[in-house]
Structure 1
Amino acid sequence: MAVLMLTGAGWWYARHWQPSPDEYPVQGVDVDAGSGAIHWGTARGQGVDFAYVLATAGDTVRDPGFESHWAALPANGIRRGAMHRYSLCSPAVAQADHFNASVPRTLDALPVAVDFAFAPDCAARPRRDALIADIRAFLERVERHMGKPALIRVTGEFEDEYRLSTAIDRTFWGRRRFLPPSDLARGWRMWQASDLRIVDGFERPVNWNVAAQ
């Protein structure tokens, strides 16, 4: 019984934990259609300063929740950024054009985030030099459209394989539960600290992120 109580207490703590607001005063979330219903006014009251919203993936997918979230965020005093989920199975230029056609250039937008992770539906593993060249071509087109340098989000597994942070001169967004990322050559500007957190205003657990000062 004591073990069960400790386990339950640990799980409750994990679901409610966030990095210290004193150390990281700017905190927020990233969402997509799978995040479920969101009441952004309530979320703002729970300390959500910004939200990244998935807009596109690969060269054909548009997230069905993007437009409604994109419109609701400024109305609730939350800074907004768009995200693209990069696919190793789609041409880089086609992905960039798909994103640019789906996301308007908006003066108040945060830098676009480009997410790199291995996907179960894509077995392609290009050579590192070829991938780096493709990413640079993608970034050139997207950044010209958006008017700002991009933010690169990468999983530890992807970074171990391709070492993007040693080749791409951009700011990085690391992903590691509970502990700051330590595997990025350029350090991190953003940190996804939890994908378990329960927050009022969200139907499901959220990806909780903080910005470095």
Structure 2
Amino acid sequence: MRILALLLLAVVCAGGWYWWQLQHWSPDEAVYPDQGVEVAARDGRVNFRTVRALGGRFAYLDASYGAKGSDAAFSRNLTAAREAGLQVGAVHRFDPCVMADGQSANFVTVVPRGADMLPPAIELAATADDCAERVTEAAVESELMTLINQIEGHAGKPVILKIMPGFETRYGLSARIERNLWLSRTRLLPDYAGRPWLLWTANEALRSEAAEQPLRWVVVQP
């Protein structure tokens, strides 16, 4: 019985150690020198100077969603990240239930145009399965391409597609749209898009001194 208890304690300790390591893990800077964060209002106050001290060089900020949604902390985070000396980019969350024109107008309203901005990213997570009216796969792809062209016209740079696993499984668009990819998978290299990525959310919940809430830690393909 005592041996069994010791074995159980060892398993619990090992599990706790692994969980702590996972929460505090980020890729080796020698392998991935360009690292940064993705930040939204839900992350609370973020000390971007601490992000920089931790090795961060850039910050992607959640900015707009669909045709009407915007991140309440975007302007504050934009100012703070720039003051900390980080390069900054904006993220728009694509809504497959809404036409592209309204979404691009929302993005243009929220995100300032600037040569110093990083290429914008479009997050592809929500599918059309929950739309009030049926939206075909062809319509999703068509509206997404329209949105891409409109946002690129505003930014003057090609967009990055931040494709989440469920969206890629549902639509398989990474093989049909020639844009740089941003994939997400904690600790393990993501391969669900079937082709190389430019950005990788390597830890989706990194605990650090930069914020009370865990942050999404992102690296660039070297």
Task: Check whether the contact 2:125–2:163 (CA below 8 A) recurs between aligned residues.
Answer: yes
Q: Give the distance between the partners of 1:201 and 1:210, measured in 2 at CA.
A: 17
Task: Check whether the contact 1:174–1:188 (CA below 8 A) recurs between aligned residues.
Answer: yes
| Distance apart, 1:126 and its partner CA | 2.9
- 1:71 is the counterpart of 2:79: yes
Identity of aligned residues (%): 33
Q: Secondary structure at the match of 1:204?
A: strand
Q: Secondary structure at the match of 2:201?
A: strand
TM-score, normalised to structure 1's length? Answer: 0.95
- 1:175 is the counterpart of 2:181: no
1:34 alignment counterpart: 42
Task: Check whether the contact 1:88–1:122 (CA below 8 A) recurs between aligned residues.
Answer: no
Q: Give the distance between the partners of 1:200 and 1:89, measured in 2 at CA.
A: 38
AA aligned opposite 1:16 = H
Task: Check whether the contact 2:97–2:135 (CA below 8 A) recurs between aligned residues.
Answer: no
Task: Check whether the contact 1:54–1:63 (CA below 8 A) recurs between aligned residues.
Answer: yes
TM-score, normalised to structure 2's length? Answer: 0.91
Task: Check whether the contact 1:89–1:122 (CA below 8 A) recurs between aligned residues.
Answer: no
In the TM superposition, what whole-angstrom CA distance separates every residue of 1:90-137 from its partner, at most 9, and x where no partner exists? 211110111011111011110001001127x97037322211111111
Listed as ranges, the matches of 1:21-100 within 5 Å are: 21-100=29-108
Q: Which runs of 5+ in 1 are unaligned?
A: none
AA aligned opposite 1:38 = V
Q: How many residues align?
A: 212
Listed as ranges, the matches of 1:96-115 within 5 Å are: 96-115=104-123
Task: Check whether the contact 2:121–2:161 (CA below 8 A) recurs between aligned residues.
Answer: yes
- 1:196 is the counterpart of 2:213: no
Task: Check whether the contact 1:132–1:167 (CA below 8 A) recurs between aligned residues.
Answer: no
| Distance apart, 1:23 and its partner CA | 1.0
Runs of 4+ in 1 over 3 A off after TM superposition: none
1:139 alignment counterpart: 148
| Distance apart, 1:185 and its partner CA | 3.3
| Distance apart, 1:24 and its partner CA | 0.7
Q: Give the distance between the partners of 1:17 and 1:155, measured in 2 at CA.
A: 21
Q: Give the distance between the partners of 1:107 and 1:24, measured in 2 at CA.
A: 25
Q: Give the distance between the partners of 1:105 and 1:185, measured in 2 at CA.
A: 32
Q: Give the distance between the partners of 1:133 and 1:210, measured in 2 at CA.
A: 30
AA aligned opposite 1:8 = G
Task: Check whether the contact 1:81–1:112 (CA below 8 A) recurs between aligned residues.
Answer: yes
Q: Which runs of 5+ in 2 are unaligned?
A: 1-8
